[in-house]
């Protein structure tokens, strides 16, 4: 893939808000989401974000003016079935992108027909953008892995396999929810600090609840069972990217993770943003994939000229918090940290290839979590576990409140965007969730 006319900075839309300064959804973006009018019992259908509006693809399909090829592509989207569209692979997706841009660009002959098909984003509700049957969470930030390892293994923070193999575990797809869905603090077992090794664990509400700043990559085209995806073809199996907050109960996690890894500490709720930004929209923001001097290069099956030249993505990432006290006072969320996905130790193509190298079959809509994305600086931790050094150094917020971990009533917002000289800024929309008390 490469940049083309669809990324032209001179391209503008007849939807005026698409040109607003700092807009997440210019005509160069066009992410997909699953929508209906808020409070209605209307059927779910797929929409495309443009400015502060959504183009309802069910209404747009009926409005006509499309070629026979594009009309066929709109059928599953009008029915709310993004998975069926994802399964068709990148060529149909690019064809629809071109048709939508032509219809939404300034001066389009379809403006009159499509203007009634727009709905203000403030007037819609979202579900998950697609059906996620399987979810794998990776561990791609070497900065996060090192910082967390240093908390528990000061003399040996990074385990020897990390720089050779993309580490991951199978997550729980049933508890993935869309942005705006409240999350209840989980109950579970944990060991309180100072408890002797042989003493019984405590049980009750999690006391060390944390967020994790992640990206979620969605699989498009499937691979058959027993047929690995070579790294040169891996990008063709990806549909797009959204934001992911993989809430984590750190005290439950510390007690349960040995010897098999995360379980109840991770499956009580993970929040996804409502929009999927396609791989085509992200093309201008590809950057070289490099390893620090002295680190091992990937094994041959995880290496290619293309992956080295542009396998990484420069996506800016940010976490904000709004406490219950701030909300009551009418105060906006404040920034906790900012980092970049370009610092990830493994690329998305490498994740797809490694996930399938043993013959594992991936299906349309499968989700690949990036793992917590932290920057190299101390203030760039993608979780409170890092920012507070395991809860030992509380963060003081502008209103005087402090936090070591997330408290009931706190809303955590994830934001992401891409920008560089010569390209139009695109964003991912917010990914937010508020914590409710334990049941």
**Among all residues, which ones are annotated catalytic?**
144
CA-based nearest residue to 351, from 140, 41, 58: 140
CA-based nearest residue to 117, from 133, 104, 135, 102: 104
Contact 276, 33 (CB under 8 A): yes
Q: How far is CA 278 from CA 221, 291, 331, 355, in A?
A: 13, 26, 33, 21
**Number of alpha carbons in the 13 Å side-chain half-sphere of residue 250:** 21
Q: How far apart are CA 350 and CA 303, in angstroms?
A: 8
Helix or strand holding residue 328 (H, E)? helix 324-328
Q: How far is CA 138 from CA 159, 227, 319, 345, 384, in A?
A: 15, 21, 20, 11, 19
Q: Which two tokens stand for residue 189?
A: 């077992």
Provide the b/e sequence for 268-297 (b: ≥16 CB within 10 Å). Answer: bbbbbbbbbbbbbbbbbbbeebeeeeeeee
Per-residue HEC secondary structure of 40-93 comes to CCCCCEEEEEECCEEEEHHHHHHHCCCCHHHHHHHHHHHCCCHHHHHCCCHHHH
The alpha-carbon radius of gyration of the chain (Å, integer) is 22
Q: Which two tokens stand for residue 148?
A: 């967390």
ω into 196 cis (within 30 of 0):
no
Q: How far apart are CA 5 and CA 234, in angstroms?
A: 24
Helix or strand holding residue 249 (H, E)? strand 248-249
């Amino acid at each position: 893939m490469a940049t083309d006319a669809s990324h032209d900075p001179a391209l503008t839309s007849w939807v005026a808000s698409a040109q607003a300064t700092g807009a997440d959804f210019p005509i160069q973006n066009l992410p997909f989401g699953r929508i209906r009018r808020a409070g209605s019992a209307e059927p779910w259908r797929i929409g495309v974000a443009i400015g502060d509006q959504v183009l309802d693809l069910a209404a747009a399909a009926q409005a006509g003016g499309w070629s026979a090829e594009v009309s066929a592509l709109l059928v599953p989207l009008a029915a709310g079935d993004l998975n069926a569209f994802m399964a068709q692979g990148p060529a149909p997706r690019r064809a629809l992108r071109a048709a939508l841009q032509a219809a939404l660009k300034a001066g389009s002959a379809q403006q009159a027909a499509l203007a009634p098909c727009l709905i203000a984003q403030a007037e819609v509700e979202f579900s998950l953008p697609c059906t996620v049957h399987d979810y794998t969470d990776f561990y791609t930030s070497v900065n996060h892995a090192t910082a967390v390892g240093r908390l528990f293994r000061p003399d040996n923070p990074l385990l020897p396999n990390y720089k050779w193999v993309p580490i991951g575990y199978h997550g729980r797809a049933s508890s993935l929810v869309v942005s705006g869905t409240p999350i209840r603090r989980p109950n579970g077992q944990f060991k309180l600090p100072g408890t002797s090794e042989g003493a019984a664990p405590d049980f009750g509400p999690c006391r060390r609840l944390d967020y994790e700043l992640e990206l979620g990559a969605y699989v498009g085209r499937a691979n058959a069972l027993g047929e690995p995806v070579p790294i040169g073809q891996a990008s063709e199996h990806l549909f797009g990217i959204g934001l992911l907050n993989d809430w984590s109960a750190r005290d439950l996690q510390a007690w349960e993770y040995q010897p098999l890894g995360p379980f109840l500490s991770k499956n009580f709720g993970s929040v996804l943003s409502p929009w999927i930004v396609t791989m085509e929209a992200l093309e201008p923001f590809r950057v070289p994939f490099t390893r620090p001097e002295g680190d091992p290069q990937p094994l041959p099956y995880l290496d290619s000229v293309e992956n080295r030249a542009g396998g990484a993505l420069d996506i800016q990432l940010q976490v904000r918090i709004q406490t219950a006290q701030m909300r009551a006072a009418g105060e906006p969320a404040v920034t906790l940290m900012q980092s970049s996905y370009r610092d990830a130790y493994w690329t998305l193509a490498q994740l797809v290839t490694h996930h399938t190298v043993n013959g594992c079959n991936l299906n349309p809509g499968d989700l690949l979590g990036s793992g917590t994305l932290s920057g190299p600086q101390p203030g760039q931790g993608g979780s409170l576990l890092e920012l507070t050094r395991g809860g030992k150094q509380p963060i003081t917020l502008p209103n005087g409140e402090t936090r070591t971990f997330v408290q009931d009533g706190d809303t955590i917002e994830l934001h992401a965007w891409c920008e560089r000289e010569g390209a139009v800024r695109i964003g991912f929309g917010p990914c937010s969730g508020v914590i409710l008390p334990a049941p």
